[in-house]
Amino acid sequence: MKLIRHRGQSLVETALVLPLFVLIMAFVTDISRAVYIYSNMTHAVREAARFGSVDCSSTTKIINRVHEMSTFPVSAQADCDTTDSDDIEVQGSCTVTVKADYNFKAATPFIDKLFPNNVILIHVESEMHQEFMRCLED
């Protein structure tokens, strides 16, 4: 009885499947990185909006708070809108809007070519609203 050798067959199968497997793993890694960056930016922007709703004196402080809380170099914008109220109980309100953008570069080959300027833009926005109550005397 003759033994049939299949050593070359497994080498060819590996050569065909390995590049596809590496591409899929790189794609999964890129998606994981993007989700982590989005989560980190969401936390930073939300914290800065909370900070701004408590102290709405300067948008520079709010933007600095975004940069302190984020572990990635983001471009941030902040807007404070303070209004007075004619209501007897409510003195006024403060609405803080914070936006941040990050240009994500994919490590997977050819994925970034699907997006304009070869960059995937991650955008996060948060808005906080706070009302200031009047001190009513009895």
pLDDT of residue 17: 93
Residues in contact with 76: Cβ distance below 8 Å, sequence separation at least 6, in sequence order: 45, 48, 63, 66, 67, 98, 99, 100, 101
Which residues does residue 126 pair with via DSSP β-bridges, in sequence order?
98
pLDDT of residue 47: 92
pLDDT means per 10 residues, the chain with 138 residues, are 67 89 91 94 92 82 89 86 65 83 86 78 88 56
pLDDT of residue 98: 92
Q: What pTM was computed for the model? A: 0.77
Which residues does residue 79 pair with via DSSP β-bridges, in sequence order?
97
Overall residue count recorded for the chain in this entry:
138
pLDDT of residue 10: 80
Q: What are residue 23's phi and psi, to 5 degrees? A: -65, -45
pLDDT of residue 73: 87
pLDDT of residue 14: 86
pLDDT of residue 85: 62
